[in-house]
Amino acid sequence: MTGRVSRGNRGIRQATLGAARPILGQNRGVDRVDEAKTPSTLSMPERIKAILIGSSGNLVEWYDFYVYAAFSLYFAKAFFPAGDQTAQLLNTAAIFAVGFLMRPIGAWFFGRMADRHGRRVALTTSVLLMCFGSALVAVTPVYATIGIAAPVILLLARMIQGLSLGGEYGTSATYLSEMATSDRRGFYSSFQYVTLIGGQLAAMLVLVVLQKFVLMPAELDAWGWRIPFAIGAGLAVIAYVMRRDLHETEAFSRATRREGSLKALLAHPREVAIVVGLTLGGTLAFYTYTTYMQKFLVNTSGFAKDTATLVSASALFIYMLMQPVVGAISDVIGRRLVLIAFGVLGVLCTVPLLMTLQATKDPFAAFALIVAGLAIVSCYTAINAVVKAELFPTSVRALGVGLPYALTVALFGGTAEYVALWLKQAGRETDFYWYVTACIGVSLIVYATMRDTRDDSAINKS
């Protein structure tokens, strides 16, 4: 059932087919019907299974993406000419940021796909694309072998991964929010960041295992950094197989309009502006305390690489456990109060936390400070996905959640490392702390003036 139909006949076609709509993208010789089961007939164990499988692919995608950040301390010298450590990290951070610039394109492409053809089609396609990007990094020769082609290929691989991840966020946030029951939507949708953090944590744990038990430092520098990229490519294939059998969401199955276009999205300008505003401070704080923190501990606080990795990984584990707790709290007191808590605490505590962390030499103190920062950020990360999903109707939800978010992350989250390292190299590192604080302050204004999406949700609007 791949033929095009006129806009006037679309409603008739969808009403007739209903839950028996063929699932696109199943490369099994014929289009496959979704087991005659609509999400409304799913039992709670089946619904939970769908949520876990949907979010597990998210873990793999984010593992693949964050392996780059976790191992950049080792492979920076492999792709760039000899120089001081900050300069090499600055080059790798620049390519990391370019990956983020591809995310809006991915959010548009996969959001449009998800809103027109289904959440599952977009989820399975995006994870395959991530597999290719990771495999490309794993096999790319170093600068000493092929010269400038090495960083060019690395850049291409990051662009592919950025494209994939741009589609992953909006589609998975939409899928989890639509699949969850209304009274537990904050709790279940928080698993997007559980798996997102889990992917980052898995990348760091692979690094810890390689550092402590498998390879010598010289081996990690020479070739060992390729191992996690190869692992990621293999995991992405497994995630694809799991996602092929996902149930489509009830909200999408019963939708009478499936637009997924920029024109349709721009009919919701206030919601788009809210997504940008609520994301701005949160994404910058998130990337400051997660991907950049390992480098901060090495390059600013003066910790050894393996100690910095262990401290960061331990803090991330605690952070991961916080997400469902905060998500459940939002189901009780509302989303808006939780977001305001992040804004107020972020404005008051960011500079003191980072200033103290800069001066500490005790790994236990560093761990406590990072956990404190991550506890504040949890009030954003645990619920930001569900808040965005609750802002938009079904016909443009994946695109509405993904595109303005991806644009904001590209400008503020993806550049966090680069801005921090650039200011450090310029001798003005503390300016970065105030920059983070100011961005959180802007988001706080949005939190204070927006509606509480728990009580005024668009999830059931087509």
What value does the mean pLDDT take over residues 268-272?
Answer: 94
* Res 456: pLDDT: 87
- Two tokens, residue 454: 């728990």
Asked whether the predicted pLDDT for residue 444 surpasses 80, the reply is yes
Structural domains in the chain, sorted by start:
46-449 (1.20.1250.20)
What value does the mean pLDDT take over residues 416-424?
Answer: 90
What value does the mean pLDDT take over residues 268-294?
Answer: 93
Radius of gyration of the chain (CA): 22
> Do 444 and 347 form a contact (C-beta atoms < 8 A)?
yes
- Residues found in the chain: 462
Asked whether the predicted pLDDT for residue 268 surpasses 50, the reply is yes
* Res 397: pLDDT: 93
Q: What is the pLDDT of residues 184-226, one digit of tens each?
A: 899 988 988 898 888 888 887 898 889 889 998 889 888 999 9
- What span, in angstroms and rounded, lies between the C-alpha atoms of 140 and 117? 35
Name which of 96-105, 118-127, 143-152, 380-389 the model is least confident about.
96-105
- What span, in angstroms and rounded, lies between the C-alpha atoms of 376 and 341? 8
b/e per residue 398-413 (b: at least 16 CB within 10 A): bbbbbbbbbbbbbbbb
> Do 298 and 74 form a contact (C-beta atoms < 8 A)?
no
State which of 13-17, 20-24, 175-179 shows the largest mean pLDDT.
Answer: 175-179
- What span, in angstroms and rounded, lies between the C-alpha atoms of 273 and 279? 10
What value does the mean pLDDT take over residues 60-73?
Answer: 80
What value does the mean pLDDT take over residues 135-144?
Answer: 90
Asked whether the predicted pLDDT for residue 41 surpasses 70, the reply is no
Instruction: Report long-range pairs for 309-312 (Cβ below 8 Å, ≥24 apart).
Output: 309/70, 309/204, 309/207, 309/208, 309/211, 310/208, 310/363, 311/363, 311/366, 311/367, 311/370, 312/204, 312/370
Instruction: Using a cut of 0.75, tell me whether the model's pTM lies above it.
Output: yes
- Two tokens, residue 124: 């399975």
What value does the mean pLDDT take over residues 146-163?
Answer: 88
Give the DSSP H or E segment for 446: helix 430-449
Confidence at 40, pLDDT banded by 50, 70, 90: low
Asked whether the predicted pLDDT for residue 4 surpasses 70, the reply is no
What value does the mean pLDDT take over residues 181-185?
Answer: 85
Asked whether the predicted pLDDT for residue 64 surpasses 90, the reply is no
Q: What is the pLDDT of residues 72-95, one digit of tens each?
A: 878 888 887 766 667 677 777 777
Asked whether the predicted pLDDT for residue 14 surpasses 50, the reply is no
